[in-house]
């Protein structure tokens, strides 16, 4: 079987010859440490350890062109600047480019309907400049890839939060409901037109909707508000995605998603990732409660910071139960921390192979 066939078998609740194993891309700060620990330079971790990957579709799915990055001040090891999203923020200078940056936002580009109208000028879905250099060959090969194809679009909450910030968006749901409706209708129409313009005829195994609309113990909007504002638009977006290009539709959402899963199921969403364990979640419990819902992730990244015994205690029981159930792609529950020893990560991959 090819990796693509294994991936689709596992998510169709069929047992392949061996598992499809994945993890999020290794960020620079982590790789820098792993190279010191013996990881060869210039070799991908997937190829080195023999696990799997997705073939991505290289396109800019949000605003285009991006805003010009503009520095305002550098002081005491921090830089204040306008970023490519149009937001004013502060970062630690040394952390930039590492893949792990603690950010503080000072101002967001959308504070009024007039700001939103200006923002819309950067959202022409048919703009061919969105296509990166290898886009044409990637789209043409989606029917013949050995590995599954993934395309990413940005969802309703994600996009509005990038425009308004968490606090501004939270207030706007109550103070500016008409603007919220207008923005959400625009995001729906934009994403459907984006897929039609660029993905029509392609075979996308996983259309991932980036949302990040939950925190440690709950979602960032109430289930009632989700049902009123998000559910009808989600249902239409998922239906359109599946008619245009997508075999399965996933939502990428950090944080605690137990209240969101039933609503996503109602909207036709097939699965979720990454199921962060630090957010008071149990992926085995979710698998039992939602027997047809699909999951990618759920292996606690914090255990990789400890010893091999702790890695085994995390991986083996989950893998045994979830491999039996299927409908699960094993992966770390987000980016691998920079202080996770390479040997622990290697051990995790080996355990996932052996437990099968």
Output the pLDDT for position 121.
98
Enter the pTM of the model.
0.97
Output the pLDDT for position 101.
82
**Spans of the chain below 70 pLDDT:** none
> Which of 292, 315, 303, 298 is CA-nearest to residue 254?
298
**Cross-strand bridge partners of residue 105:** 89
Output the pLDDT for position 103.
86
pLDDT, tens only, 305-316: 999 999 999 999
pLDDT, tens only, 139-191: 999 999 999 999 999 999 999 999 999 999 999 999 999 999 999 999 999 99
Can you give the length of the chain in residues?
356
The overall longest dimension of the chain from CA atoms, in Å, is: 57
Output the pLDDT for position 102.
82
Angle between helices 156-175 and 177-198 (to 10 degrees): 170
Domains delineated in the chain: 3-63+112-355 (3.20.20.210), 68-108 (no CATH)
Write b or e for each residue in 70-98: b if 16 or more Cβ atoms lie within 10 A of its Cβ, otherwise e.
eeeeeeeeeeebbbebbbbbbbeeeeeee
d(CA 174, CA 224): 13
d(CA 97, CA 86): 18
Output the pLDDT for position 269.
98
């Amino acid at each position: 079987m090819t990796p693509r066939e294994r991936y689709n078998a596992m998510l169709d609740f069929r047992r392949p010859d061996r598992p499809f194993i994945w993890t999020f891309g290794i960020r620079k700060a982590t790789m820098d440490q792993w190279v010191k620990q013996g990881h060869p330079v210039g070799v991908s971790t997937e190829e080195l350890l023999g696990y799997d990957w997705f073939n991505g579709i290289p396109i800019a799915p949000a605003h285009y062109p991006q805003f010009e990055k503009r520095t305002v001040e550098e002081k005491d090891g921090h830089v204040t600047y306008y970023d490519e999203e149009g937001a004013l923020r502060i970062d630690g200078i040394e952390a930039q480019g590492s893949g792990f940056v603690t950010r503080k936002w000072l101002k967001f580009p959308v504070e009024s309907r007039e700001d939103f109208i200006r923002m819309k000028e950067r959202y022409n879905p048919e703009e061919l400049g969105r296509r990166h250099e290898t886009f044409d060959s990637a789209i043409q090969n989606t029917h013949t890839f050995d590995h599954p194809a993934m395309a990413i679009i940005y969802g309703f909450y994600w996009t509005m939060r990038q425009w308004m910030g968490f606090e501004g968006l939270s207030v706007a749901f109550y103070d500016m409901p008409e603007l919220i409706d207008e923005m959400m209708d625009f995001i729906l129409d934009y994403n459907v037109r984006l897929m039609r313009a660029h993905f029509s005829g392609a075979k996308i195994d996983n259309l991932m909707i980036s949302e990040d609309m939950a925190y440690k113990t709950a979602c960032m909007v109430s289930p009632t508000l989700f049902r009123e504002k998000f559910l009808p638009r989600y249902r239409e977006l998922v239906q359109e995605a599946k008619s245009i290009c997508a075999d399965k539709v996933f939502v990428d959402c950090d944080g605690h998603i137990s209240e969101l899963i039933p609503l996503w199921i109602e909207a036709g969403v097939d699965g979720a990732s990454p199921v962060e364990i630090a957010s008071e979640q149990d992926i085995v419990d979710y698998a039992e409660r939602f027997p047809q819902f699909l999951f990618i992730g759920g292996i606690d990244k914090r255990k990789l910071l400890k010893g091999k015994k702790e890695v085994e205690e995390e991986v083996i029981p989950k893998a045994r139960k979830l491999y039996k159930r299927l409908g699960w792609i094993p992966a770390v529950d987000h980016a691998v921390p920079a202080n996770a020893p390479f040997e622990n990560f290697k051990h995790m991959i080996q355990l996932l192979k052996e437990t099968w």
